[in-house]
Chains A and B, each alone.
Chain A
Protein backbone atom coordinates (compact mmCIF):
# COMPACT_ATOMS: atom_id res chain seq x y z
CA UNK A 1 0.00 0.00 0.00
CA UNK A 2 1.34 3.43 -0.88
CA UNK A 3 -0.39 6.38 0.73
CA UNK A 4 0.68 9.34 -1.31
CA UNK A 5 1.96 12.32 0.66
CA UNK A 6 2.42 10.44 3.92
CA UNK A 7 6.12 9.63 3.51
CA UNK A 8 7.42 12.84 5.18
CA UNK A 9 5.23 12.15 8.22
CA UNK A 10 6.40 8.53 8.38
CA UNK A 11 10.03 9.69 8.18
CA UNK A 12 9.48 12.16 11.02
CA UNK A 13 7.79 9.44 13.05
CA UNK A 14 10.74 7.10 12.48
CA UNK A 15 13.23 9.81 13.46
CA UNK A 16 11.21 10.80 16.54
CA UNK A 17 12.51 7.63 18.26
CA UNK A 18 16.18 8.18 17.48
CA UNK A 19 18.49 9.61 14.77
CA UNK A 20 19.17 7.26 11.89
CA UNK A 21 20.59 6.96 8.39
CA UNK A 22 18.54 6.64 5.19
CA UNK A 23 18.56 2.88 4.66
CA UNK A 24 17.64 2.18 8.27
CA UNK A 25 14.79 4.74 8.17
CA UNK A 26 13.30 2.95 5.15
CA UNK A 27 13.56 -0.47 6.78
CA UNK A 28 12.03 0.76 10.04
CA UNK A 29 9.03 2.25 8.27
CA UNK A 30 8.44 -1.03 6.45
CA UNK A 31 8.91 -3.13 9.58
CA UNK A 32 6.69 -1.00 11.80
CA UNK A 33 3.86 -1.22 9.28
CA UNK A 34 4.49 -5.00 9.06
CA UNK A 35 5.08 -4.68 5.35
CA UNK A 36 1.70 -3.06 4.64
CA UNK A 37 3.19 0.34 3.85
CA UNK A 38 5.62 -0.09 1.01
CA UNK A 39 7.38 2.65 -0.88
CA UNK A 40 10.23 2.85 -3.33
CA UNK A 41 13.39 3.64 -1.45
CA UNK A 42 14.65 5.99 -4.18
CA UNK A 43 11.92 8.44 -3.14
CA UNK A 44 13.10 8.52 0.48
CA UNK A 45 15.99 10.90 -0.13
CA UNK A 46 14.09 13.61 -2.04
CA UNK A 47 11.64 13.58 0.89
CA UNK A 48 14.55 13.88 3.33
CA UNK A 49 15.99 16.81 1.32
CA UNK A 50 12.63 18.55 1.43
CA UNK A 51 12.30 18.02 5.19
CA UNK A 52 15.80 19.37 5.60
CA UNK A 53 15.00 22.47 3.54
CA UNK A 54 11.91 23.02 5.69
CA UNK A 55 14.07 22.78 8.81
CA UNK A 56 12.28 19.67 10.09
CA UNK A 57 15.30 17.40 10.01
CA UNK A 58 19.04 18.01 10.15
CA UNK A 59 21.92 15.70 9.48
CA UNK A 60 25.47 15.04 10.51
CA UNK A 61 28.04 12.89 8.74
CA UNK A 62 29.54 9.91 10.52
CA UNK A 63 32.21 7.52 9.35
CA UNK A 64 31.38 3.85 9.92
CA UNK A 65 33.61 1.08 8.59
CA UNK A 66 35.39 3.56 6.34
CA UNK A 67 32.10 4.78 4.81
CA UNK A 68 30.63 8.20 5.32
CA UNK A 69 26.99 8.08 6.35
CA UNK A 70 24.53 10.85 6.85
CA UNK A 71 22.67 10.46 10.10
CA UNK A 72 19.40 12.40 10.17
CA UNK A 73 17.73 13.71 13.30
CA UNK A 74 14.41 15.43 13.87
CA UNK A 75 14.45 19.10 14.90
CA UNK A 76 12.14 20.98 17.23
CA UNK A 77 10.21 22.27 14.21
CA UNK A 78 9.99 18.69 12.96
CA UNK A 79 8.47 17.51 16.24
CA UNK A 80 5.87 20.26 16.10
CA UNK A 81 5.03 19.35 12.52
CA UNK A 82 4.78 15.68 13.47
CA UNK A 83 2.39 16.45 16.33
CA UNK A 84 0.19 18.43 13.93
CA UNK A 85 0.29 15.65 11.33
CA UNK A 86 -0.68 13.07 13.96
CA UNK A 87 -3.72 15.13 15.01
CA UNK A 88 -4.81 15.63 11.43
CA UNK A 89 -4.39 11.96 10.65
CA UNK A 90 -6.43 10.88 13.68
CA UNK A 91 -9.23 13.27 12.72
CA UNK A 92 -9.22 12.01 9.14
CA UNK A 93 -9.01 8.40 10.21
CA UNK A 94 -11.96 8.75 12.62
CA UNK A 95 -14.05 10.41 9.92
CA UNK A 96 -13.32 7.70 7.35
CA UNK A 97 -13.98 4.96 9.93
CA UNK A 98 -17.38 6.46 10.79
CA UNK A 99 -18.35 6.55 7.13
CA UNK A 100 -17.19 3.00 6.51
CA UNK A 101 -19.16 1.75 9.55
CA UNK A 102 -22.31 3.36 8.18
CA UNK A 103 -21.81 1.50 4.88
Chain B
Protein backbone atom coordinates (compact mmCIF):
# COMPACT_ATOMS: atom_id res chain seq x y z
CA UNK B 1 0.00 0.00 0.00
CA UNK B 2 1.32 3.43 -0.95
CA UNK B 3 1.75 5.83 1.95
CA UNK B 4 1.10 9.56 1.86
CA UNK B 5 4.85 10.21 2.11
CA UNK B 6 5.52 8.00 -0.93
CA UNK B 7 2.75 9.74 -2.87
CA UNK B 8 4.13 13.17 -1.95
CA UNK B 9 7.72 12.26 -2.82
CA UNK B 10 6.60 11.45 -6.38
CA UNK B 11 4.18 14.39 -6.67
CA UNK B 12 6.79 16.92 -5.56
CA UNK B 13 9.69 15.54 -7.63
CA UNK B 14 11.59 18.33 -9.42
CA UNK B 15 9.72 21.16 -7.69
CA UNK B 16 11.71 23.84 -5.87
CA UNK B 17 11.77 23.61 -2.07
CA UNK B 18 9.14 26.28 -1.43
CA UNK B 19 6.75 24.83 -4.03
CA UNK B 20 7.24 21.30 -2.67
CA UNK B 21 6.51 22.60 0.81
CA UNK B 22 3.31 24.19 -0.41
CA UNK B 23 2.19 20.96 -2.10
CA UNK B 24 2.97 18.95 1.05
CA UNK B 25 0.91 21.35 3.15
CA UNK B 26 -2.16 21.38 0.90
CA UNK B 27 -2.18 17.65 0.16
CA UNK B 28 -1.49 16.89 3.82
CA UNK B 29 -4.45 19.03 4.81
CA UNK B 30 -6.62 17.38 2.13
CA UNK B 31 -5.59 13.93 3.34
CA UNK B 32 -6.42 14.76 6.98
CA UNK B 33 -9.82 16.10 5.94
CA UNK B 34 -10.51 12.88 4.02
CA UNK B 35 -9.47 10.77 7.01
CA UNK B 36 -11.66 12.80 9.36
CA UNK B 37 -14.62 12.67 7.03
CA UNK B 38 -14.38 8.90 6.44
CA UNK B 39 -13.42 8.15 10.05
CA UNK B 40 -16.85 9.24 11.22
CA UNK B 41 -18.49 6.28 9.46
CA UNK B 42 -15.65 3.79 9.08
CA UNK B 43 -13.61 2.34 11.92
CA UNK B 44 -11.02 0.51 9.79
CA UNK B 45 -8.29 3.16 9.78
CA UNK B 46 -6.03 1.29 7.34
CA UNK B 47 -8.85 1.08 4.85
CA UNK B 48 -9.67 4.76 5.33
CA UNK B 49 -6.05 5.72 4.66
CA UNK B 50 -5.87 3.47 1.61
CA UNK B 51 -9.00 5.03 0.14
CA UNK B 52 -7.78 8.56 0.91
CA UNK B 53 -4.55 7.87 -1.01
CA UNK B 54 -6.45 6.21 -3.87
CA UNK B 55 -8.73 9.27 -4.14
CA UNK B 56 -5.68 11.46 -4.78
CA UNK B 57 -4.99 9.49 -7.96
CA UNK B 58 -1.72 8.93 -9.77
CA UNK B 59 1.14 10.87 -8.16
CA UNK B 60 3.03 11.13 -11.49
CA UNK B 61 0.03 12.78 -13.15
CA UNK B 62 -0.24 15.23 -10.25
CA UNK B 63 3.50 15.91 -10.53
CA UNK B 64 3.20 16.72 -14.25
CA UNK B 65 0.38 19.14 -13.50
CA UNK B 66 2.17 20.74 -10.57
CA UNK B 67 5.29 21.30 -12.68
CA UNK B 68 3.21 23.30 -15.14
CA UNK B 69 1.96 25.74 -12.51
CA UNK B 70 4.64 25.82 -9.79
CA UNK B 71 8.31 26.70 -9.93
CA UNK B 72 10.64 23.78 -10.57
CA UNK B 73 14.17 23.38 -9.18
CA UNK B 74 15.68 24.27 -12.56
CA UNK B 75 13.59 27.42 -12.90
CA UNK B 76 14.42 28.46 -9.33
CA UNK B 77 18.11 27.95 -10.05
CA UNK B 78 17.81 30.05 -13.20
CA UNK B 79 16.18 32.88 -11.29
CA UNK B 80 18.62 32.66 -8.37
CA UNK B 81 21.56 33.05 -10.73
CA UNK B 82 20.11 36.06 -12.46
CA UNK B 83 18.83 38.55 -9.98
CA UNK B 84 19.77 40.50 -6.91
CA UNK B 85 17.37 40.18 -3.97
CA UNK B 86 16.12 43.75 -3.92
CA UNK B 87 16.65 47.10 -5.52
CA UNK B 88 18.30 49.48 -3.09
CA UNK B 89 19.25 53.15 -3.58
CA UNK B 90 23.01 52.50 -3.53
CA UNK B 91 22.55 49.77 -6.13
CA UNK B 92 20.70 52.18 -8.40
CA UNK B 93 23.46 54.80 -8.02
CA UNK B 94 26.10 52.17 -8.74
CA UNK B 95 24.22 50.93 -11.77
CA UNK B 96 23.85 54.45 -13.13
CA UNK B 97 27.59 55.04 -12.71
CA UNK B 98 28.39 51.79 -14.47
CA UNK B 99 25.98 52.60 -17.29
CA UNK B 100 27.66 55.99 -17.67
CA UNK B 101 31.07 54.26 -17.78
CA UNK B 102 29.80 51.84 -20.40
CA UNK B 103 28.45 54.65 -22.58
CA UNK B 104 31.72 56.55 -22.22
CA UNK B 105 33.79 53.48 -23.07
CA UNK B 106 31.74 52.74 -26.16
CA UNK B 107 31.86 56.36 -27.29
CA UNK B 108 35.59 56.97 -26.70
CA UNK B 109 37.01 53.58 -27.81
CA UNK B 110 40.52 54.35 -26.75
CA UNK B 111 41.38 51.41 -24.56
CA UNK B 112 40.54 47.74 -24.23
CA UNK B 113 40.36 48.36 -20.52
CA UNK B 114 37.29 50.47 -21.25
CA UNK B 115 35.70 47.51 -23.00
CA UNK B 116 36.31 45.47 -19.86
CA UNK B 117 34.63 48.14 -17.72
CA UNK B 118 31.74 48.28 -20.18
CA UNK B 119 31.29 44.51 -20.10
CA UNK B 120 31.34 44.46 -16.29
CA UNK B 121 28.84 47.33 -16.22
CA UNK B 122 26.48 45.54 -18.59
CA UNK B 123 26.84 42.35 -16.57
CA UNK B 124 25.95 44.20 -13.36
CA UNK B 125 22.94 45.84 -14.96
CA UNK B 126 21.71 42.48 -16.26
CA UNK B 127 22.07 40.99 -12.79
CA UNK B 128 20.11 43.82 -11.23
CA UNK B 129 17.10 43.58 -13.55
CA UNK B 130 14.17 42.14 -11.57
CA UNK B 131 12.99 38.91 -13.23
CA UNK B 132 9.29 38.20 -12.99
CA UNK B 133 8.93 35.30 -15.41
CA UNK B 134 10.87 32.34 -16.72
CA UNK B 135 10.78 33.74 -20.25
CA UNK B 136 12.33 37.03 -19.10
CA UNK B 137 14.88 34.98 -17.17
CA UNK B 138 16.00 33.18 -20.32
CA UNK B 139 16.27 36.43 -22.30
CA UNK B 140 18.47 38.00 -19.61
CA UNK B 141 20.55 34.82 -19.34
CA UNK B 142 21.20 34.83 -23.11
CA UNK B 143 22.20 38.50 -22.97
CA UNK B 144 24.54 37.71 -20.09
CA UNK B 145 26.14 34.81 -21.94
CA UNK B 146 26.66 37.10 -24.94
CA UNK B 147 28.19 39.77 -22.75
CA UNK B 148 30.56 37.29 -21.09
CA UNK B 149 31.55 35.92 -24.48
CA UNK B 150 32.44 39.41 -25.66
CA UNK B 151 34.34 40.07 -22.43
CA UNK B 152 36.49 36.98 -22.78
CA UNK B 153 36.90 37.60 -26.49
CA UNK B 154 38.36 41.04 -25.74
CA UNK B 155 40.82 39.46 -23.35
CA UNK B 156 41.73 36.52 -25.58
CA UNK B 157 42.00 38.44 -28.83
CA UNK B 158 44.76 40.79 -27.74
CA UNK B 159 46.15 38.90 -24.83
CA UNK B 160 46.10 41.97 -22.67
CA UNK B 161 44.47 45.19 -21.68
CA UNK B 162 45.43 48.83 -21.95
CA UNK B 163 46.30 48.15 -25.57
CA UNK B 164 43.34 49.58 -27.47
CA UNK B 165 43.30 51.36 -30.77
CA UNK B 166 46.19 53.46 -29.53
CA UNK B 167 48.24 50.37 -28.68
CA UNK B 168 47.51 48.49 -31.89
CA UNK B 169 49.03 50.22 -34.82
CA UNK B 170 48.20 48.36 -38.06
CA UNK B 171 50.48 50.53 -40.14
CA UNK B 172 53.52 51.36 -38.05
CA UNK B 173 55.48 54.33 -39.22
CA UNK B 174 59.26 53.68 -39.01
CA UNK B 175 59.72 57.37 -38.27
CA UNK B 176 57.72 56.94 -35.07
CA UNK B 177 60.80 55.79 -33.21
CA UNK B 178 61.21 52.98 -30.67
CA UNK B 179 58.10 53.96 -28.68
CA UNK B 180 55.70 53.18 -31.58
CA UNK B 181 54.43 50.28 -33.72
CA UNK B 182 55.96 46.83 -33.20
CA UNK B 183 58.57 48.22 -30.84
CA UNK B 184 55.89 49.59 -28.61
CA UNK B 185 53.94 46.27 -28.58
CA UNK B 186 57.08 44.54 -27.36
CA UNK B 187 57.61 47.24 -24.78
CA UNK B 188 54.10 46.65 -23.39
CA UNK B 189 54.45 42.89 -22.87
CA UNK B 190 55.49 42.87 -19.20
CA UNK B 191 52.40 44.91 -18.26
CA UNK B 192 50.17 42.52 -20.23
CA UNK B 193 50.85 39.73 -17.77
CA UNK B 194 49.59 41.88 -14.92
CA UNK B 195 46.53 42.85 -16.90
CA UNK B 196 45.81 39.20 -17.70
CA UNK B 197 45.88 38.35 -14.03
CA UNK B 198 43.55 41.28 -13.26
CA UNK B 199 41.03 40.09 -15.85
CA UNK B 200 41.20 36.53 -14.57
CA UNK B 201 40.49 37.76 -11.05
CA UNK B 202 37.66 39.96 -12.26
CA UNK B 203 36.11 37.06 -14.19
CA UNK B 204 36.47 34.80 -11.15
CA UNK B 205 34.70 37.41 -9.06
CA UNK B 206 31.80 37.49 -11.52
CA UNK B 207 31.40 33.72 -11.41
CA UNK B 208 31.36 33.69 -7.60
CA UNK B 209 28.79 36.48 -7.59
CA UNK B 210 26.63 34.71 -10.15
CA UNK B 211 26.41 31.48 -8.16
CA UNK B 212 26.26 32.90 -4.67
CA UNK B 213 23.00 34.82 -4.64
CA UNK B 214 20.85 33.27 -1.87
CA UNK B 215 17.54 34.06 -3.41
CA UNK B 216 14.53 32.11 -4.55
CA UNK B 217 10.84 32.60 -5.02
CA UNK B 218 7.73 31.04 -6.38
CA UNK B 219 5.86 32.34 -9.34
CA UNK B 220 2.21 32.53 -8.71
Contact = CB atoms under 8 A, between A and B. Distances in A.
A46 B69 contact: yes
B58 A40 contact: yes
B69 A41 contact: no
A58 B109 CA distance: 54
Interface string B27-42: 1011011100100000
Contacts of A69: 29
B97 to A, nearest CB: 38
Contacts of A43: 57, 61-62, 65
B37 A40 contact: no
Nearest to A45: B26
Interface string B49-64: 0000001111101100
Nearest to B56: A42
B69 A49 contact: yes
A43 B69 CA distance: 12
Nearest to A27: B37
A61 B156 CA distance: 57
Interface in A18-32: 21-24, 26-27
Contacts of A46: 62, 65-66, 68-70
B29 A42 contact: no
Q: Is the interface of A mostly helix, strand, loop or mixed?
A: helix
A41 B37 CA distance: 15
B70 to A, nearest CB: 6
Contacts of B79: none
B27 A42 contact: yes
A68 B61 contact: no
A23 B68 contact: no
A50 interface: yes
Given A50-B69, A53-B220, A67-B32, A45 B57 contact: no
Contacts of B7: 42
A70 B61 contact: no
B220 A52 contact: yes
Contact of B11 (A42, A47, A49): A42
A52 B220 CA distance: 7
Given A41-B55, A47-B65, A50-B69, 12 more contacts: A22-B29, A23-B33, A23-B34, A24-B33, A27-B37, A40-B55, A42-B7, A42-B27, A42-B56, A45-B66, A46-B68, A68-B29
- Closest 5 pairs between A and B when the two form their complex, measured CB to CB: A40-B57, A46-B65, A23-B33, A42-B62, A42-B56
